[in-house]
Amino acid sequence: MDFNWKKSGIFAAGVLFGTAGIKILSSRDAKKLYTNCTAAVLRAKNSIMHTATVVHENAQDIYAEAVQINEDREKEDANKVFGDVEAVEDTETAEEAITES
């Protein structure tokens, strides 16, 4: 059986780098980096939530104004229709008055 020094060396290097990596990742400086990154993510989240709230409020205002515009137009259209009916009735009444005279 032939011992493979290359594979054994790669394995030993992996164990060494893995152990050093764990030490580095669990160090005080790494913890400070994780904390700062987490704080930045929380600030970004707060900013996004604030922007979403503003957009939502603006959308509600736009919707309310659009509903009001449509209601006003419906009232104007109804007044035009009833105004036309009243004008026709006034004309018919005037014509009847003329024919009766």
What confidence score (pLDDT) does residue 60 get? Answer: 97
Q: What is the mean pLDDT of the chain?
A: 83
Task: Please tell me the distance from the alpha carbon of residue 70 to that of residue 80, in angstroms, as a whole number.
Answer: 15
* Residue reference for tokens 């893995």: 18
Task: Please tell me the distance from the alpha carbon of residue 10 to that of residue 14, in angstroms, as a whole number.
Answer: 6
Q: What is the tens place of the pLDDT at every residue in 48-76?
A: 999 999 999 999 999 999 999 999 999 88
What confidence score (pLDDT) does residue 4 get? Answer: 77
CB 14, CB 6: distance < 8 Å = no
CB 24, CB 30: distance < 8 Å = yes
The ranges assigned to domains in the chain are 5-100
Name which residue leads in pLDDT, 41 or 80: 41
